[in-house]
Amino acid sequence: MAKMKIKAKEKNGVVKVKAMFRSLMADKEEAEKKKIKAEYITHILGKANGKVVFEATTSGFMSENPLIKFSFTGAKKGDELEFVLTDNHGKTKTGKKKIK
């Protein structure tokens, strides 16, 4: 399941987030071609202080190692940003990073 790289920086009340999730994002068709197991992220959920700040439903349409960028307000330095990934096998993975 995907490893993730998260970067979150707060400036003037706005938190800018960049995150990359390591995944082949191989859907069924691609997996058959490459003779590997179909495995892709189906859901990305980003939370800060218990509130949802990012949510996306994804599939094989996204590129390998998808990169997301977004910004939100309402969090300060030292707060924790949490990502929950769900893949097509139903497995979940969480990654945390403190906002700088």
Pairing status of strand 67-73 against strand 41-48: unpaired
**Interaction of residue 3 with other proteins, rule CB under 8 A:** yes
**Interaction of residue 93 with other proteins, rule CB under 8 A:** no
> For residues 81 and 36, what is the distance between their CA atoms, to the nearest angstrom?
32
The site map against other proteins for 22-41 (x = CB under 8 A) is x-------x--xx-------
**Interaction of residue 5 with other proteins, rule CB under 8 A:** yes
Alpha helices in 1-100 (DSSP H): 28-34
The identity of residue 63, as a single letter, is: S
Residues forming contacts to other proteins in the complex (CB under 8 A) are 3, 5, 7, 18, 20, 22, 30, 33-34, 65, 67, 69
